[in-house]
Amino acid sequence: MVIVAMSVIVFFGVMVIGNPVDILINPEFDQEEMERAIKALGLDLPMWQQYLLFVKNAFQGDFGKSFVFGEPALKLIIQRVPATLELAFTALILSILIGIPLGLFAGLKPDAPVSKTIMGGSILGFSLPTFWVGIMMMMIFAVMLGVLPATGRGQTVTIMGLKISFLTWDGLKHLLMPAINLALLKISLVIRLTRAGTREVVLQDYVKFARAKGLSNRRVILVHVLKNILIPVVTVIGLELGNLIAFSVVTETVFAWPGMGKLIIDSIQLLDRPIIVAYLIIIVFMFVTINLVVDILYSVLDPRVRLQDVKS
Amino acid sequence: MTGVASALKIQDLKTYFYTKAGIVKAVDGVAFSVNRGQIMGLVGESGCGKSVTGFSILGLVDPPGRVVSGRILFKGEDIVALPEPQMQRLRGYRIAMIFQDPMMTLNPVLRIDTQMIEAIRTHEKVSRKQAWRRSRDTLGRIGIPSAEERLRAYPHQFSGGMRQRVSIAIAMLNKPDLIIADEPTTALDVTIQGQILYEIQKLCRETSTALIWITHDLAVIAGLADHVCVMYAGRIVESGKVGAVIDEPLHPYTKGLIGSVPSQSRRGEQLTQIPGMTPSPLNLPEGCPFRPRCPRTDRACMTAPENTSPLPGRKVSCFHPHVRGAS
Amino acid sequence: MSVSTKTETIPELSAEAAPEVETTLRRFLSDFTENKVAVAAFVVFIGIVFIAIFAPLISPQNPFDLAEIDILEGRLPPKSESISGTTFWLGTDDQGRDMLSAIFYGLRTSLGVGAMSGFIALCLGTCIGLTAAYFGGRIDSIVMRLVDLQLSFPAILIALVLLAILGKGVDKIIVALIAVQWAYYARTVRASALVERRKDYIEAAQCLAFSNRRILFRHLMPNVLPPLIVVGTVQVAHAILLESTLSFLGIGLPVTEPSLGLLIANGFEYMLSGKYWISFFPGVALLITVVSINLVGDQLRDVLNPRLRR
């Protein structure tokens, strides 16, 4: 339903605004070629017919050919999806691994100076312009220190037809900066979320009861507290994955990472419409999938939701 | 002298909360003792400090509160200043606590068996199977049928009464010497309450466990306890055997409390009402805390009264107790 | 007779009413100033706004007046001297523009766009949210579906799509920014309004047969303000960041209206040759702006949130 809505919006948006003839057809064609192209693309048909044509093609995976590359738009995008996903997932994992422990600590000991630093740092985290930080990181680590490579993706290993780069050392080196850069924003979010959750959970009776049972502090925190915090945190993080994929546009541009994001930016500037359309449809599709997965995950983690129907 | 019979003896316990608004003297000089196999009721209105007393015994007072002074002698040993690791060994093992609200006491995302088994295995080296069996048996003793299925369930699948029974079972798992029950039946239906009271009483008699039952409901104490301590504004104002205190209350507050409870023996009589309100713990009146509401007050009450024993086995903290025959 | 009693009672009422307002405001101010960092941030923010407004007057050079810049003075490091005798405190960019002035002008653009889009989005979102909450029923569900749909997509994506369709231009950017933000305002306002709507004073106003519009704006809205202010500050910060990100990517503001994002983009190519200042300083300016807004917003949120009242 969402996908349909999106497709309608995008299609009409692109078609109606801006002269489709100019957009779709290479302006360097002469008159005759133009007319042929118009016929071939069906631009002389009434609008609703064009839309149906579009949908029919879309279902077959045909979004038209990119002007710039001359190849089917869908294929171009799909080729670059693994790179983006790799970046996004790494950033996600980083933000979880760093964010949750820090947030937990800040929540348990809110008055410790370390906690205050963490919280202050988190404000910095989501105030930072990602692209600028990326540039700075590049400058410090690549130019001044020469430790990490500045741009591009490293060596890849092909598994199941997908090119994966984090399995090689070189690949990792290339992955590190962009992933951290992308993760920065999310780390702050995770920290704040975890901290808020911790502060709330720690006040609950069942935590006190757990202590009254004589459980060690470690167990109380790691089992009782953490599991309760994870529920809201995980749902948010899951949704953030979509955000990460979208935001990779910036990081990919800065670090010249060959993912979907860079492609779309270039395409927008070059007015490569088929790619724009295809990208949007795919993104929407991804989002819907992610939402679904998060819903499932939520019910797995929270027994109260899961067993609603089972209870007599 | 504290013999083997004494489970808990508290002397002059003071627990204060250091808040932004001022010092809250939640517990201000409380003293009592409980012997093995005895059931003691700690009675008082909301906010009089009875729950805090319970937490103080177990060292579970959260900041900004802390135990300021006093001695808590558990089986003869003072546990007030006991370091945390040793306190953890006592908690849930030799001293157990049952909380008030069964909805929030059990962790909603963990299964019942997890929460019971961990209570056992944190103190004793037993296998999971053995711990599981003990949990199942204890659930059975507390009156929960088909315990095996229940163990695999989650707390939200139970009713309030069942959850409370589970909490009680958890308290009894390690056969503690002392159980502190903080208003465990307040949130439950009267009928369930009756059942639970009966079961607990039976269990405590069987295992010679000392029980401190904290409540605001005198009627419950009347049917359950051997001894009672009446608390007001952080202090014990009267204590003694249940029957004696109820038949012949010494402290004006106790008298007021009893008078305000409807009972069979006084049908047709008007219920008395204690005038005024409980003082704010930030702003306790000088001298006897009950002074502003007491019908028998005079200038002597401007200083805090000492504990006296006008009758054998009874203690009262008042300058003008209702002793028959006295003026 | 009745006239004199009327004049007697009215001053009484106003004498009672006036101290009330004062104490609420005073209490808010004293709560807010508890956090020294937030106060400092606020001062910084005011300073930045000041710079932005008076940029043409206080910049040593107008970097966009072609007559004033000399390409031969391009890419000079900070603290270099210019031919005309002024110091380039923060260096120059590739065209010879003084970085300090460029940053001042850039701040002006960035803040201007951010504030304007934020304000319009706030008005739009508030109206929509209030209406949805007040009238309820189908209007409410339609509006909320729309809001949820939009909020489930990341802002940058929506902006990308809109800009891809609309093209370049200041007005188009503002439209995109508004489109991204209104949903947050609408949702916040609707949530508070739903709570307030059930309260007695609204019912009283309805009994007095006030027009719906009057109730909405004079009764409901003032009480919905506090969370709105909090969301507003955070949103403005986001808007500024988003705009600079878009400008950096080349699909934001055009070159004629440079914002900090564009300045940073300009300097990007010089990073690898060590001329860091072209990108560095605009970024710092951006950072300080956003951080100060966020700090103020954070403190506002703590102060205005009734649940955190100690």
- B163-187 pLDDT tens trace: 888 888 888 888 888 999 988 887 7
Residue B239 phi/psi, 5° resolution?
A: -155, 155
pLDDT band at C230 (very low <50, low <70, confident <90, very high): confident
The span from the CA of A133 to the CA of A144, in Å, is 15
Please check whether residue B108 touches A, CB under 8 A. yes
pLDDT band at C24 (very low <50, low <70, confident <90, very high): low
Note the pLDDT of residue B186.
79
- Which chain A residue shows the shortest CA-CA distance from C145? A2
Note the pLDDT of residue C70.
67
Chain A contact set for B170 (CB, 8 A): 213
Mean pLDDT of the B4-29 span: 83
> For A255-272, how does the pLDDT look when each residue is reduced to its tens digit (9 = 90+)?
888 788 777 777 777 666
CA angle centred on C257, ends A126 and C284, rounded to 5°: 35
Note the pLDDT of residue A50.
56
Interface of B with A in 40-99 (CB under 8 A): 58, 60, 62, 88-93, 96-97, 99
Note the pLDDT of residue B263.
67
Least confident range from A54-58, B127-131, C306-310: namely C306-310
- For chains A and B, count residue pairs whose Cβ atoms are closer than 8 Å: 80
The alpha-carbon gap from C59 to the nearest alpha carbon of chain A, in Å, equals 24
Those residues whose C-beta lies under 8 Å from the C-beta of residue B260, and which sit 6 or more positions away, are B271, B272, B273, B274
List, in sequence order, every residue forming a beta bridge with B27; answer none if it has no partner: B15
pLDDT band at B309 (very low <50, low <70, confident <90, very high): confident
> For A219-278, how does the pLDDT look when each residue is reduced to its tens digit (9 = 90+)?
777 777 888 888 777 777 777 888 888 888 888 888 888 788 777 777 777 666 667 777
> For B196-205, how does the pLDDT look when each residue is reduced to its tens digit (9 = 90+)?
888 888 888 8
Q: Would you give the end-to-end CA distance of chain C in angstroms?
A: 50
> For A156-200, how does the pLDDT look when each residue is reduced to its tens digit (9 = 90+)?
666 655 566 666 666 677 778 888 888 887 888 888 888 888 888
Chains that touch B (3 or more CB pairs under 8 A): A
Percent of chain A with pLDDT over 70: 62
Percent of chain B with pLDDT over 90: 2
C299 vs A149 pLDDT, higher one: C299
Least confident range from A48-52, A102-106, B298-302, C34-38: namely A48-52
Note the pLDDT of residue A273.
66
Note the pLDDT of residue B326.
46
Please check whether residue C158 touches A, CB under 8 A. no
- For chains A and C, count residue pairs whose Cβ atoms are closer than 8 Å: 104
Please check whether residue B159 touches A, CB under 8 A. no
Residue C201 has pLDDT above 60, yes or no: yes
With contact defined as beta carbons under 8 Å apart, do B203 and B142 qualify?
yes
List the structure tokens of C260: 């900090």
User: Helices (H) and strands (E) in chain C — how many of each?
Assistant: 12, 2
Note the pLDDT of residue A90.
84
Please check whether residue C113 touches A, CB under 8 A. no
The alpha-carbon gap from A291 to the nearest alpha carbon of chain B, in Å, equals 23
Residue C13 has pLDDT above 70, yes or no: no
Please check whether residue C167 touches A, CB under 8 A. yes
Burial class (CB in 10 A: 0-12, 13-18, 19+), C2: exposed
Instruction: For chain C, give the mean pLDDT.
Output: 75
Interface test with C, best of A9, A132, A275, A280 (most C CBs within 10 A): A132
Chain C contact set for A263 (CB, 8 A): none
The span from the CA of A129 to the CA of C283, in Å, is 8
C165 vs A240 pLDDT, higher one: A240
The span from the CA of A299 to the CA of C174, in Å, is 40
Chain A contact set for C283 (CB, 8 A): 129, 132, 135-136
> Is there a contact between C241 and A143 if contact means CB atoms under 8 Å apart?
no
Q: Which of A5, A123, A291 sits opposite C295 (nearest CB)?
A: A123
The alpha-carbon gap from B59 to the nearest alpha carbon of chain A, in Å, equals 9
Chain B contact set for A228 (CB, 8 A): 107-109
The alpha-carbon gap from A7 to the nearest alpha carbon of chain C, in Å, equals 12
The alpha-carbon gap from C108 to the nearest alpha carbon of chain A, in Å, equals 17
The span from the CA of B287 to the CA of B272, in Å, is 25
Angle between helices A73-108 and A273-301 (to 10 degrees): 40
Put simply, whether the predicted model's pTM sits higher than 0.80 gets the answer no
Chain C contact set for A138 (CB, 8 A): 271-272
Burial class (CB in 10 A: 0-12, 13-18, 19+), C170: middle
Residue C3 has pLDDT above 70, yes or no: no
Please check whether residue A10 touches C, CB under 8 A. yes
- Which chain A residue shows the shortest CA-CA distance from B123? A214
Q: Which of C248, C267, C294 sits opposite A123 (nearest CB)?
A: C294
Chain A contact set for B152 (CB, 8 A): none
pLDDT band at C149 (very low <50, low <70, confident <90, very high): confident
> Is there a contact between A214 and B107 if contact means CB atoms under 8 Å apart?
no
Chains that touch C (3 or more CB pairs under 8 A): A
Instruction: For chain A, give the mean pLDDT.
Output: 71
Q: What secondary structure letter does DSSP report for C205?
A: H
Residue B303 has pLDDT above 70, yes or no: yes
Those residues whose C-beta lies under 8 Å from the C-beta of residue A83, and which sit 6 or more positions away, are A153, A163, A165, A257, A258, A259, A260
Please check whether residue C194 touches A, CB under 8 A. no
Chain A contact set for C272 (CB, 8 A): 138, 142-143, 150
The alpha-carbon gap from A214 to the nearest alpha carbon of chain B, in Å, equals 4
Chain A contact set for B57 (CB, 8 A): none
In chain A, where does DSSP find H-type helix?
A: 2-16, 20-24, 31-41, 47-59, 73-108, 113-127, 130-137, 169-202, 205-212, 217-219, 226-255, 260-270, 273-301, 303-306
Those residues whose C-beta lies under 8 Å from the C-beta of residue B91, and which sit 6 or more positions away, are A211, A212, A213, A214, B58, B59, B60, B97
Chains that touch A (3 or more CB pairs under 8 A): B, C
The alpha-carbon gap from C261 to the nearest alpha carbon of chain A, in Å, equals 9
Percent of chain B with pLDDT over 70: 95
Note the pLDDT of residue A168.
66
The span from the CA of C277 to the CA of C280, in Å, is 5
Chain B contact set for A221 (CB, 8 A): none
Note the pLDDT of residue C145.
79
Amino acid (1-letter code) at residue B281: P
